[in-house]
Structure 1
Amino acid sequence: MFRIPASNNGLYLGSVPQSAAAKNGGTLITLDHDMATLPAVGRTLTVAELAEHVDDMAGRLWAAGIRPSERVAVHMSPGFDIYVLATAVARIGAVPVMLSPALEGESVAALLERLDRPHLLTDGAKLDGPLADFPVADLTDRTVVATGSRPGAVSLDDLAGAPRQQPVLLHPDEPALMTHTSGTTGLPKLVVHSARTLRGRFRPQERLASLVRKRETVAIHVSYVHSRMYLALAVLLPRAMPLVIMNDSEPAGVAELFAETRPGFIETHPNSFMEWEELVDHPRRPLANVRYFSTTFDAIHPSTMDRLLRASERRAPLFFQIYGQSECGPLVGRGYTRKNAHKADGRCLGFAMPGVTNFRLVSRNGARPSRDTPGYIEVSTAGRALTYFGEGERFDQQVHGGWWRGGDVGYRSGYGCLHLLDREVDVIPTIHSTLEVEDTVLGRLEELTELVVVAGPDQEPVPVVCTRNDRPLEAERWRAAVADLTPMAEPVQMPLTELPRTATMKIKRIELSQRLRTQEGRAS
């Protein structure tokens, strides 16, 4: 039975749109796509209309038989309706479990099994595609289709006009949202957030938003299943910031969208920012009005920050780099300007947020953590998740007192900046930092759109390169660019679209390394 908290110590995602609508219901939200679940909406809606759609869908989900504290796996084709429906699930006190549209059917089936017969909220494209070969009925309590109808499934279309329901607020320490880790090292883990831990994540993000004094249009291109999307809108919707929500990262379409909407604040994944470097010289000047760039998912290359900052025509644009993890939310960060981005140390992720987050370095081999002997990065924050669903022991192994060890290694500079050198699983014995090498070479070769250094069959560093328009890499330029670096194997060139990625556009380095080994084995 659900409990109502005596005081509001949490962030309740299902109430965010309604609360924001009460303050500034006329604020505009622009989409670059149509929502399959709400086709009549088109590509613009107000915050008040968003709140109305969430309330409507919450009533339909209740009529479908979903009740407080029950788990609802949300696995749909990409679109802003994922946010609408997940927020509606939360509004009736159920727990949305966000499964990326990019997950393969085998992974979705394994996660459904781990969830022990949850409800499944999905669409025909997923049922007929990735899930077609799996016993969905056996893995779930009920299937709810967001559009159309399917035999044996409940249709939300058929429940239009269902009675509205009052929002249900669970106790702030009960599960409120589940998202999954990036899946760069195998089957994703299901991260359990509560209303209280979501409030802990909200605080540092609200602090960053408070630096934006002027009302700006904010363009967001992040995964709809990542907790970042839900926290970003929890911060922005009440601030009357016009929003541009993006499905597509293809540069040509982004150029047209930004030329029309003129965003002053852009947030996306580091790899999307790399992809958008070609917008710098676009004749429509799509980045001219950007005052703030922000990324929270991974470290970003200094050369990318420098190029994007110089494309802005605002007086003093800023690039915020925030380091965070799925289990903890944002942890450390810093800002860059045109004056220092080009000479930035890409391994410097920034500083802890006083009163909100903290970090420490723990020795891996008995030596004091330093650049030459990096230690485990451990962090402390009120935003740390409760556990991994179904894998509590695995989560607890990474908890050390009040500190969380996330699997990254690095050191603290004399100025107190956290430097990340590598994921522990990505460390190559002969190379100081794969990420540092990538930063350096990408800064020297403008023709590269991506560079990933992974371990080869004999643990040798193998550079995988992608070039603009897939032009052949010039061997002489490559040799000159890496002449003063640790020796590496000859570069392997492949199209950017062939790199294996997660929902947040991170490169799956282990999978890429295994792919190269398989190809070499076949060749021999």
Structure 2
Amino acid sequence: MISYQPLNLYRQFKEAAERFPEVAIVLDTSYQAFPELGFENTYTQVFAAIQQRAAQLSAAGVSADDKVMLYKSPGFDTYLLAVAVTAIGAVPVMVSYHLPTSVIDVFAERLERSFILFDKETKERVAAMEQKHLVTELAVADLVGLPANLVRENLLPEEVIQYMTHTSGTTGIPKLICHTAQTMGWRVAWQQTIFEKMAEKKTLAFHISPVHSRYNIGISSAIGLGFPLLPLSSAKAQDVATSLERYRPMALETHPNHFVQWAQFARENPTVFSSIRYYHSTFDAINIGTLRAFLEASKANHPVFMQVYGQSECGPMILRYHRLETLGTTNARDMGIGLSGYTAARITDEKGCPLPAGQNGHIQLLSRGRAVTYYKEDARFQENVYGDWWDSGDYGCMTQEGTLLLKDRQVDMIESIDSNLALEDFLLDQLDFLSEIVIIRDANGAPQPIVALTDGREMNWEAWWHQVADLPLLKEPIIMAYEDIPRTATMKVQRLKMEEEMKMENL
């Protein structure tokens, strides 16, 4: 039975290194921020490197209660730097490397006085800041050259802000989400309850945005139980294949859109994924065809695909297990149920009044791990608070069986379509020449499909028009390259940005 404990990232890593000193952490690349680490390391070796960085951060002037923006190329080292920041009582602020200078300026204003740790990926954007007077700049290359006289750990109280992430920014300037040791502790208890169901403690492979709130919870939960880790630095299918074939992990987690992106590769190269018994998608739904591709590729006993619906403000919330034998009767938009004692969902009208099963409305979430505020924007945070419940900004309904159907983001709804996401899933399942489909609103509010083609395939117009003949009226699709579709750090499509760009093109 998992017991709740508040989560301090540094203390968790220290205790894990003491309990499981020889457990492996395998890297598929070298990291400038941790030059002493090789490809195959132990918990003990990684913890020693964290202590070194904590000492160097202190030498750079970072001290208790300071805010440290980690704004650098994405990688496992970003998380390790956050652990080092935590060791000296400072607060890591996890910032996606792809955010523009204009957003970093806003963050600098909100944080008032902060450090910003950057590398060659983000150097030019930091140099272009208008609010540079509000930040102390610290380059990763300079940090690792500073004196490393070990410092005493200085852990913040469990009830204060210890960690910040940010919202995806799909609807504007991202908000800084504040987490305490208490709120993060409940998320770890949720995750470890799931991990404990795994039959063996074999390697967990994952490719997740290191600035996503999911990242620290996943790693903290795994090392607390002594799982070997294989963080994947690249989302390119061939790079993933190289690591999976070499280390044969038991589990694989990534963003839903990466699973979609890899699905055709899995169909053509199933042996790459043959060792995977547990698949795990991060905080969203996936179409049935993608689920089937990975479950069929596995040669493990009784492989399972765990679909998790959640949100950065609340953590992992609603879960459902998929197996090959259940896919024929599965609605991909059925996210499942909450975890008893930790999380639940309900549907309400726009005023927060609960609605009966089968009626569409706002999805509200109940989480013991809910974040405490948006930094310097508490009024915006409170707009979504309904007592113990949090309005997710999503739209759906509850089934008679008590499971949650996710239909759309409230801001993305199209009047003529019951569920944008369900329609996209359906077309993606039926048309194998598509690697992505996104339906947005044109300038008049009409549904405009944007499609990306599977590598090596051409648009089959006859099949498209045949498939959509009995569906709500869709405009002729616009073909885009997969990599040209704007996305957040967690690969979510920035629909509102696409709509705005389309309006500008038609002016």
TM-score (norm 2): 0.96
The 8 Å contact of residues 249 and 272 in structure 1, kept in 2 or not, is answered as yes
The 8 Å contact of residues 255 and 282 in structure 1, kept in 2 or not, is answered as no
- Quick one: distance in 2 between partners of 1:55 and 1:261? 28
Instruction: Give the aligned partner of residue 332 of structure 1.
Output: 318
Residue 11 (1) aligns with residue 7 (2): yes
Residue 211 (1) aligns with residue 206 (2): no
The 8 Å contact of residues 306 and 342 in structure 1, kept in 2 or not, is answered as no
What do the CA deviations read for 1:63-98 (whole angstroms, capped 9, x no partner)?
A: 222111221111112222211111100111111001
The 8 Å contact of residues 302 and 343 in structure 1, kept in 2 or not, is answered as no
What do the CA deviations read for 1:221-257 (whole angstroms, capped 9, x no partner)?
A: 0011112111111111133322111120111111122
Residue 183 (1) aligns with residue 169 (2): yes
Instruction: Give the aligned partner of residue 234 of structure 1.
Output: 220
Instruction: Give the aligned partner of residue 157 of structure 1.
Output: 144
Residue 107 (1) aligns with residue 103 (2): yes
- Quick one: distance in 1 between partners of 2:239 and 2:59? 39
Residue 514 (1) aligns with residue 500 (2): yes
- Quick one: distance in 1 between partners of 2:270 and 2:355? 48
Instruction: Give the aligned partner of residue 360 of structure 2.
Output: 374
Residue 313 (1) aligns with residue 299 (2): yes
- Quick one: distance in 1 between partners of 2:358 and 2:477? 26
- Quick one: distance in 2 between partners of 1:86 and 1:330? 21
The 8 Å contact of residues 204 and 250 in structure 2, kept in 1 or not, is answered as yes
Q: Residue 350 and residue 238 in structure 1: after superposition, are their counterparts in 2 closer, same or farther (change >3 A)?
A: same
Residue 352 (1) aligns with residue 338 (2): yes
Instruction: Give the aligned partner of residue 444 of structure 1.
Output: 430
Instruction: Give the aligned partner of residue 143 of structure 1.
Output: 137
Deviation larger for 16-25 or 172-181: 16-25
Deviation at 1:208, TM superposition (A): 0.8
Deviation at 1:368, TM superposition (A): 7.5
Deviation at 1:394, TM superposition (A): 0.4
Deviation at 1:430, TM superposition (A): 1.1
Instruction: Give the aligned partner of residue 4 of structure 1.
Output: none
**DSSP 3-state at the match of 1:516:** helix
- Quick one: distance in 2 between partners of 1:282 and 1:379? 39
Residue 134 (1) aligns with residue 129 (2): yes
Deviation larger for 59-68 or 117-126: 117-126
Residue 33 (1) aligns with residue 29 (2): yes
Deviation at 1:214, TM superposition (A): 1.1
**DSSP 3-state at the match of 1:159:** coil
Instruction: Give the aligned partner of residue 86 of structure 2.
Output: 90
Q: What is the one-letter code of the residue matched to 2:125?
A: P
Residue 45 (1) aligns with residue 31 (2): no
What do the CA deviations read for 1:196-220 (whole angstroms, capped 9, x no partner)?
A: 0001111111111111121221101
Q: Which contiguous aligned blocks of 4+ residues in structure 1 show a shift greater than 6 angstroms? A: 365-368
The 8 Å contact of residues 321 and 334 in structure 1, kept in 2 or not, is answered as yes
Instruction: Give the aligned partner of residue 5 of structure 1.
Output: none
- Quick one: distance in 2 between partners of 1:412 and 1:356? 18
**DSSP 3-state at the match of 1:286:** helix
Deviation at 1:484, TM superposition (A): 2.0
- Quick one: distance in 2 between partners of 1:446 and 1:145? 45
- Quick one: distance in 1 between partners of 2:40 and 2:131? 35
The 8 Å contact of residues 487 and 493 in structure 2, kept in 1 or not, is answered as yes
Q: Residue 359 and residue 125 in structure 1: after superposition, are their counterparts in 2 closer, same or farther (change >3 A)?
A: closer
What do the CA deviations read for 1:429-472 (whole angstroms, capped 9, x no partner)?
A: 11111001011111111111111111111100111111112633
Name which of 408, 411, 417 aligns with 1:422. 408
Deviation at 1:165, TM superposition (A): 2.2
The 8 Å contact of residues 53 and 144 in structure 2, kept in 1 or not, is answered as no
Q: What is the one-letter code of the residue matched to 1:130?
A: R
Deviation at 1:130, TM superposition (A): 2.0
Instruction: Give the aligned partner of residue 182 of structure 2.
Output: 196
Q: Structure 2: which 5+ runs fail to align?
A: none
Q: Residue 80 and residue 368 in structure 1: after superposition, are their counterparts in 2 closer, same or farther (change >3 A)?
A: closer
Deviation larger for 117-126 or 367-376: 367-376
- Quick one: distance in 2 between partners of 1:484 and 1:292? 37
The 8 Å contact of residues 358 and 399 in structure 2, kept in 1 or not, is answered as no
Residue 486 (1) aligns with residue 472 (2): yes
Q: What is the one-letter code of the residue matched to 1:23?
A: R
Deviation at 1:40, TM superposition (A): 3.8
What do the CA deviations read for 1:95-145 (whole angstroms, capped 9, x no partner)?
A: 100101111122112211221121112224422x222322453131x2222
Deviation at 1:342, TM superposition (A): 4.3
Deviation at 1:55, TM superposition (A): 1.1
- Quick one: distance in 1 between partners of 2:328 and 2:496? 30
The 8 Å contact of residues 166 and 174 in structure 2, kept in 1 or not, is answered as yes
Instruction: Give the aligned partner of residue 3 of structure 1.
Output: none
Deviation at 1:370, TM superposition (A): 6.4
- Quick one: distance in 2 between partners of 1:484 and 1:228? 39
Q: What is the one-letter code of the residue matched to 2:90?
A: A
Name which of 234, 238, 247 aligns with 1:252. 238
Deviation at 1:474, TM superposition (A): 1.1
Deviation at 1:183, TM superposition (A): 0.8
Q: What is the one-letter code of the residue matched to 2:139?
A: V
- Quick one: distance in 2 between partners of 1:385 and 1:400? 14
Deviation at 1:261, TM superposition (A): 1.2
Deviation at 1:382, TM superposition (A): 1.1
Deviation at 1:9, TM superposition (A): 5.1
Q: Residue 367 and residue 56 in structure 1: after superposition, are their counterparts in 2 closer, same or farther (change >3 A)?
A: closer
- Quick one: distance in 1 between partners of 2:114 and 2:184? 22
- Quick one: distance in 2 between partners of 1:387 and 1:425? 22
The 8 Å contact of residues 294 and 320 in structure 1, kept in 2 or not, is answered as yes
Deviation at 1:283, TM superposition (A): 4.6
Instruction: Give the aligned partner of residue 117 of structure 2.
Output: 121
Deviation larger for 199-208 or 103-112: 103-112
Deviation at 1:366, TM superposition (A): 10
The 8 Å contact of residues 276 and 303 in structure 2, kept in 1 or not, is answered as yes
Q: What is the one-letter code of the residue matched to 1:499?
A: I
Instruction: Give the aligned partner of residue 487 of structure 2.
Output: 501
Q: What is the one-letter code of the residue matched to 1:393?
A: A
TM-score (norm 1): 0.93
Q: What is the one-letter code of the residue matched to 1:218?
A: L
Name which of 273, 276, 288 aligns with 1:290. 276
Residue 24 (1) aligns with residue 10 (2): no
What do the CA deviations read for 1:499-521 (whole angstroms, capped 9, x no partner)?
A: 10101011111111222233333
Deviation larger for 172-181 or 77-86: 77-86
**DSSP 3-state at the match of 1:96:** strand
